[in-house]
Structure 1
Amino acid sequence: MASEKTDKSRLRRDLLRTRAALPEGDVPVNGHALARHALQLPELTGAHTVAAYVSVGREPSTREVLEGLRERGVRVLLPVLLPDDDLDWAAYEGRDHLVPAGRGLLEPDGPRLGPEAVLAADAVLLPGLAVDRRGLRLGRGGGSYDRVLERLTRAGSRAALVVLLYDGEVLAQVPAEPHDRAVHAVVTPSGTTRFPAL
């Protein structure tokens, strides 16, 4: 267990270093390609509610995905980080309704819907640093999305779990711990890869 945590920390550092070295202009270009593929996913084209997130810094851009879903009339839920690192949710009402939050994040300025609001989602777009060939996601290590995934599992949710990444972040294997849960698909600027969720 300690070895997996050490391996995860080392891999996170390497992946974040690679992202930090990306030219700033590459982020919107990759984001456009990523949005084109993501918005064609059947899990999103047929969704009434999608839980997503607002990308920041050198993360793969979610801006066009959020706008594309909203334009289709999809209800988009965005996370609001709570003091204990759990996630509350609020509806996305457009870019003009995003406000700065702690840790450099942006969050919706509308009413908070509670941590259980994610259970209404037909699909959940997850941030991450990598996904491996089994569909196991490597997050940033804060545990916020582990709680979301646990909440979905406990409720018996059938929401599609999709990670948005850069092409080089789909790896042969990421270190795994017993609580890690596989996702259904990863979308990169080059396309979509599906996994049989474990």
Structure 2
Amino acid sequence: MNTDKSGKASLRGDRLAARRLLTMEDVARTAAVLSSAALRLPELTEARTVAAYVSVGREPGTRALLDALRTRGVRVLLPVLLADNDLDWAPYEGAERLVPAGRGLLEPDGARLGPAAVLDADAVLLPGLAVDADGMRLGRGGGSYDRVLARLSAAGAHPALVVLLYDDEVVAQVPREPHDHPVDAVVTPAGTRRFTV
């Protein structure tokens, strides 16, 4: 058995269980704090294009951030999940243009730009369940963002990689595998932490 994979599964289970205990008021309150903090990040204030995602359920909220970026004139790209778990991208044109998709996700209904559209991003907001002291991110385990990060690496693209999390999701260590990539920064209600990669 691969201990990194089993360790990831255990940590995922713990983090998801903790999120289930949050009230929707907790989620909304945290989303406002995270949006405000993220909007002050130089990585986002200087970005022309940001690849992001629409938070769902008890994920740290991104919707206010998406709207604020768009209001600033930033081109926001949102993922569209493909059948093979890879991600296509489409422009964010407002909450009214989001449609329900598989797995409870919301996706933009606009033109698809192709998986390589993420290469245009100056910053990428990654979903996650935890980040450790070295900036290693724990995702949900579907591999979609592993493909995105591999695509960026293969193209020599180096956008800022940022994760929004709850305070208790910054942990001592995330089990890692050879394909894992560290992030540049994590934003929590307690503040922003940067990592030397």
Same fold (TM over 0.5): yes
Once the two structures are TM-superposed, the CA of residue 23 in structure 1 deviates from its matched residue by: 1.1
Residue pairs, 1:87-166, within 5 angstroms: 87-166=87-166
Residue in 2 aligned with 1:12?
Answer: 12
Residue 44 of structure 1 corresponds to: 44
- Matched with 1:177 is 177
**Any gaps of 5 or more consecutive residues in structure 2?**
none
Aligned partners of 1:52, 1:190: CA distance in 2, in Å?
21
Letter in 1 for 2:180: D
Deviations 1:36-77 (A, max 9, x none): 110000000000000000000000000111011000000000
Over residues 171-191 of structure 1, what are the superposed CA-to-partner deviations in whole Å (9 max), with x where a residue is unaligned?
111101111111000011121
Q: Give the secondary-structure state (helix, strand or coil) at the position aligned to 1:158.
A: coil
Q: What is the TM-score normalised by the length of structure 2?
A: 0.99
SS in structure 2 at match of 1:113: coil
Once residues 68 and 168 of structure 1 are traced to their aligned partners in structure 2, the CA distance between those partners, rounded to angstroms, is 26
Q: Residue by residue, what CA displacement relative to the aligned partner does 1:115-163 show, whole Å, maximum 9, x if unpaired?
A: 0000000000000000000000000000000000000000111200001
Write the letter of the residue equivalent to 2:91: A
CA RMSD of aligned residues (A): 0.7
Following TM superposition, where does structure 1 have runs of at least 4 consecutive aligned residues deviating by more than 4 angstroms? Answer: none
Shift of 1:192: 0.5
Residues in 1 aligned to 2:20 and 2:85: alpha-carbon distance in whole angstroms: 24
Match for residue 3 of structure 2? Answer: 3
SS at match of 2:24: coil
Structure 2 distance, partners of 1:195, 1:101, is: 34
2-side partners of 1:40 and 1:190: how far apart? 14
Deviation, 1:100, is: 0.2
Between Structure 1 and Structure 2, how many residues are aligned? 197
- The gaps in structure 1 that reach 5 residues or longer are none
Identity of aligned pairs, percent? 69
Q: What is the CA–CA distance in structure 2 between the aligned matches of 1:23 and 1:81, rounded to whole Å?
A: 27
| Structure 1 residue 19, shift from structure 2 partner | 0.2
- Does the Cα contact within 8 Å between 1:39 and 1:65 map onto a contact in 2? yes
Give me the whole-angstrom Cα distance separating, in 2, the residues matched to 1:94 and 1:190. Answer: 29
- AA at the equivalent of 1:104: G
> Deviations along 1:9-44, whole A, 9 cap, x unmatched?
011001000001101111110000000110000000
Give the structure-1-normalised TM-score: 0.98
